[in-house]
Copies of this chain bind each other. A is one copy, B any other.
Amino acid sequence: MRYGGIEAGGTKFVVAISDEHQRIIKQIRIDTEAPAVTMPKVVEFFQDNPVSAIGIGCFGPIDIDPQSLNYGYITETPKVGWRNFNFLNVLKQALNVPMYWTTDVNVAAWGEYCLGAGKSSQHLFYSTVGTGIGGGMINNNQFYQARSHPETGHIPVRRYYEDNYKGSCAVHGDCLEGLAAGPAIEARAGVKAKKIASDDDLWQQEAYYLAQACMTYTLLYAPEKIVLGGGVSNQAQLFPLIRKSFEHQLKNYVDVPPLEQYIVHAELGDQAGIVGALLLAEKVYNG
């Protein structure tokens, strides 16, 4: 028994197979070029390495409504060639196995939920803070979705009192992503985020934005745990600052678990997505 996983990102695809114990046997990276270039490489990989089911986490927005005519499509993306691309059906026609279709952030959430920082939680909110900000909510063992999947990175936020940066979101300017994703930190600092001193005030400001977002996620989703992943979350000094600012902003309005257990760093790092995709392949295979 072999499972397949695809983490389809805007710059690269990670494609892997695992055995029936979810041990990864082979994993490759494919650059994201036009669909006509990238997709045949994905198909070829699974023709060479046959699997019983495939879990797919795809950059978005994507159509995840099984009733929709566009189910399985990438919809609004600015990425050349991928807009309105019939992703799932192209794969299904080439590789006739059951497939689980969800967002890139949802597969990472699933990885953390099953094997990472969320493994003891029933209700997990996962957010990645990297080039962009995205999130996925797992509620009673299922992804929260309604008319569509959530887009938690683009919520409006109040500004930090001394922040005048215009914001880097191409759509909104100063939404959460525009003020708190990696590119926004780097635009203010003028250097790569990982070069900024860990005691720089910019991290206090960053913590304020992420804490504010965690407050909104707490009030609307009421998760048991919030797991933060993505490049920016590697700044370990952020976590105590986020928890403190969260407490200061929420003011105990609702009960939450002790904050050291409530707002935590992801544990699977870059592997969360592909691990989650492989686990979702198993889930779809077992019905």
Q: Which residues of A come within 8 Å of B, CB atoms?
A: 61, 75-76, 122-123, 137, 139-140, 144-152, 154-159, 171-172, 212, 215-217, 219-224, 249, 251-256
- Contact residues of A: prevailing secondary structure: loop
Cβ B216 vs Cβ A156 within 8 A = yes
Cβ B215 vs Cβ A156 within 8 A = yes
Q: With the chains together, A255 CA to B154 CA distance in Å? A: 14
Which of chain B's residues have a CB closer than 8 A to the CB of A215?
A: 155-156
Q: Which residue of B lies closest to A251 (CB)?
A: B171
Which of chain B's residues have a CB closer than 8 A to the CB of A155?
A: 215-216, 219-220
- Chain B CB count within 10 A is highest, among A152, A172, A220, for A220
Which one of B149, B158, B221 contacts A146 once the chains associate, using CB atoms below 8 Å? B221
Q: With the chains together, A113 CA to B287 CA distance in Å? A: 31
Cβ B254 vs Cβ A148 within 8 A = yes
With A123-B146, A158-B157 already in contact, the answer to whether A220 and B152 are too (CB < 8 A) is yes
**Can you sample 19 A-B contacts with CB below 8 Å?**
A122-B146, A123-B146, A137-B220, A139-B144, A139-B146, A144-B144, A145-B222, A146-B222, A147-B256, A149-B222, A150-B219, A150-B221, A150-B222, A151-B222, A151-B253, A155-B215, A172-B249, A216-B220, A220-B220
